[in-house]
Amino acid sequence: MECVFGLVGDGFALVAADSSAVNSILVHKSNEDKIMILDSHKLLGASGEAGDRVQFTEYIQKNVHLYEFRNGIPLSTAAAANFTRGELAQALRKDMDNHLERSELKSLDLTPISVGIITSKFVVTTILAPSVGTAQPKGCIGNGRDSSIAGYDKDIGPSLYYIDYIATLHKVDKGAFGYGSFFSLSMMDRHYHSGMSLKEAVDLVDKCIVEIRTRLVVSPPNFVIKIVDKDGAKEYAWRETIKDAEEPTA
């Protein structure tokens, strides 16, 4: 039921994600932000089991920050994507019952996550989420945790990476996953062309959202759109059909 998709336009990359947090038949909230801002010029949109998704994306975000502090310059999008993919690949292959030694990750014990996130793997060591307080994963391969990393580098411009739950990494112009991908990918195949302006791209995103809302049986009501361009990563807009109730004022 989760839909995340993204595309690359003229001087920007865009990621849209649904914003419902669901547990079996219960909708916890409809304004969950699933696109994490990794650093000033990178977005990570992820879908999948909520605890794992948040745990993994925050872990990636902190490692991206750590790299920037250590080296004085931020990571490139490609490097971030490859780091994330690698972390995911490692987590998939970790033997949970017998903790295997992993050479680069000495003192910190990362419990594996069943997340399909699009991210790249870092070689740089890390802050692995310390074993105190990590979410216990259910299994090595989850229900399909996928993610997309969108970023803007000064020298190569915007780029988008697709990473799925078994650590496939692709650099793409447009990508989507989840049930919504059936509709959004077709829509993008029909209307996407390289070098779209922001207005055209947002129109296309809206078209995809309309398709998802019309054709998906349990479609998410609200979406969030975030873009990253030369001025940085920021939230662009929400597309809401249901507004969560306001907090009652005293």
Partner 1 sequence: MYGPTKPNRPNFLAIFFLQQTLLTFLLERTARFYRRSNSMARYDRAITVFSPDGHLFQVEYALEAVRKGNAAVGVRGTDAIVLGVEKKSTPKLQDSRSVRKIVSLDTHIALACAGLKADARVLINRARIECQSHRLTVEDPVTVEYITRYIAGLQQKYTQSGGVRPFGLSALIVGFDPDTGVPALYQTDPSGTFSAWKANATGRNSNSMREFLEKNYKETSGQETVKLAIRALLEVVESGGKNIEIAVMTKEQGLRQLEEAEIDAIVAEIEAEKAAAEAAKKPPSKDSQV
Identify the CA nearest to 224 among candidates 94, 89, 91, 29: 29
Q: Which 130-159 residues touch partner 1, going by CB under 8 A?
A: 130, 132-133
| Lateral strand order in the sheet of 12-18 | 174-177, 4-8, 12-18, 223-229, 232-239
3-state secondary structure of 171: strand
Whichever of 42 and 174 has its CB closer to partner 1, that residue is 42
CA torsion sign for 26, 31, 32, 34 is: positive
| Burial class, 51, CB count within 10 angstroms (exposed 0-12 / middle 13-18 / buried 19+) | middle
Whichever of 130 and 232 has its CB closer to partner 1, that residue is 130
Among 4-12, 128-136, 181-189, 232-240, the segment contacting partner 1 (CB under 8 A): 128-136
Q: Sketch the per residue contact string, 175 through 194, with partner 1: x for CB under 8 A, - otherwise.
A: --------------------
Q: CA 233 → CA 164, 238, 244, distances in Å?
A: 22, 15, 25
3-state secondary structure of 215: helix
Among 39-47, 124-132, 152-160, 166-174, the segment contacting partner 1 (CB under 8 A): 124-132
Q: Which 35-74 residues touch partner 1, going by CB under 8 A?
A: 58-59, 62-63, 65-66, 69-70, 72
Query: Looking only at Cα atoms, what is the longest distance across the chain?
Result: 55
Whichever of 72 and 195 has its CB closer to partner 1, that residue is 72
Whichever of 8 and 38 has its CB closer to partner 1, that residue is 38
Interface residue with partner 1 among 96, 123, 127, 242 (CB under 8 A) is 127
Which residues in this chain contact partner 1 in the complex, by CB under 8 A?
Answer: 58-59, 62-63, 65-66, 69-70, 72, 126-127, 129-130, 132-133
